[in-house]
Amino acid sequence: MNMPKAGDKVRVICKDEEIEGILMPSENADSVMIKLGSGYNIGIDRKKIKEIKVIEALKEAKDRSAEKKKQAQQNPKLPNITILHTGGTIASKVDYRTGGVSAKFSPEEMEEKFPEIFKLANIKSKLVFQMFSEDMEPEHWQILAREVKKEVEHGAEGVIITHGTDTMQYTANALSFMLENLSKPVILVGAQRSSDRGSSDAGRNIICAVNFIVKSDFAGVAVCMHKRSGDDSCYIHKGVKVRKIHSSRRDAFRSVNVLPLAEVTKEGRIIPLNKDYEKKGKNDVVLKDKIEKKVEIVKIHPGFNYEIIKMLEEKGYKGIILEGTGLGHAQVNVLDEYTKNHERLLDTIKNTIDKGVVVVMTTQTIFGRVNMNVYSTGRDLQKAGVISGEDMMPETAFVKLSWLLGNYPNDSNKVKELMTKNLRGEITERTEYEEEFI
């Protein structure tokens, strides 16, 4: 059978049914792989196929290097927004060579994909790097922080960062701390479904982010993602209070221990939910982008080996974030022959702190806050020198401690003091019951 080429839109005619979709490469010579309109792939036994008709041939991508880039017409009545492109699912489409999803959209292609945003603002698009967020390192946070500062200083009224969702919360935290005195909105936007899928959430998220920048008085770092799995509206989450809590749902992000800042409807209406934020202004942003990379998150669990803490200290680590159980606990009580090593954990933590390592306790429950005053376990950890992370998520505490140690490398007392101080809205004085599990 003379097969059309991968990437063609085809109609596969079988004995009992006809299937339309995109022809994909297949490693199995006995089957034909088709990507359906839903985004899912289906394999069809060649023996059942009577005919394959090409509905639309794959159009080869134009060589943009030979073209003069098309500049969007500027409207002096509209605000200027810069989109910094970093890759991720929001900028992904099917790679018909491999059948997988790759970061392929250029900033220009994204502008063609979402024309609605040009009615709201003058859009400038810039490629910073092209990568999935799981590959990002702290150095990439620094690059982004510098790019944001540059765009704000050049007149941008807001910045949108297209970003993979896997580590978006880390980047949102990092930018929140690195960009001090920020008086413009910086909104991270991602997608759970690639932009060439019918079920993609990319368009709604970007359009909502632009609407929020244009129509609200918010200044700071935030994340814009779907409110629910439907395509009706988005939530705006404070950058230091947001977490991805589902691997694949379009509404994967939640504000933790606080309400979202706002809801943005598909009509572009802004519904304020939480007014605890800085307002837009004309302040000069201060860049503090130093990061200490020798900081680690350690999860406490039954059977935890105290030697892990000892190893980190011996390897020269400057900070440790403990993901404790419940209110911020670890196994430090000796009760029987099976718990005799618990005392060693407490001693090791104390010795590590005495040698200058900053140790912070968070809770692996995510929602709620650390309170080491309730039980003797917590009080013993405090006596050893463990700092309470209050209601910071482990990821937030990790980024904050890395940032503090980078900017105050020779002043551990200052680091400890600022670690318990609310700098960017990362610590709330009181966690209201109704603000949990939103």
Active site residue 244: yes
Could you say which of 9, 244, 318, 416 is catalytic? 244
Q: Compute CA distances 255 → 95, 119, 179, 224, whole Å.
A: 34, 30, 21, 11
Assigned token pair, 301:
């669990």
Distances (CA, A) of 190 to 132, 234, 245, 250, 378: 11, 12, 14, 10, 38
As a whole number of angstroms, the distance between CA 332 and CA 351 comes to: 14
Q: Amino acid identity, residue 345? A: L
How big is the CA angle at 137 (ends 133 and 143), to the nearest 5 degrees?
Answer: 95
- C-alpha 272/C-alpha 218 separation (Å) is 10
Residue 56 CA to residue 82 CA, distance in Å, equals 35
427 phi and psi, to 5 degrees?
A: -120, 130
List the Cα angle 103/107/108 in 5-degree steps: 120
Q: Is 166 a catalytic residue?
A: yes
Determine the Cα–Cα distance for residues 220 and 175; give it in Å rounded to an integer. 9
User: Among 82, 86, 162, 165, which one carries the catalytic annotation?
Assistant: 165
Q: What share of residues in the chain are helix, strand, coil (percent, to 5)?
A: 30, 25, 45
Structure tokens at 257: 């221990």
190: tokens are 């991602």
Q: CB–CB of 168/188 below 8 Å?
A: yes
Which listed residue (166, 196, 231, 251) is catalytic? Answer: 166
Is 89 tagged catalytic?
yes
Instruction: Identify whether the C-beta of residue 173 lies closer than 8 Å to the C-beta of residue 403.
Output: no
Could you list the active site residues? 89, 165-166, 244
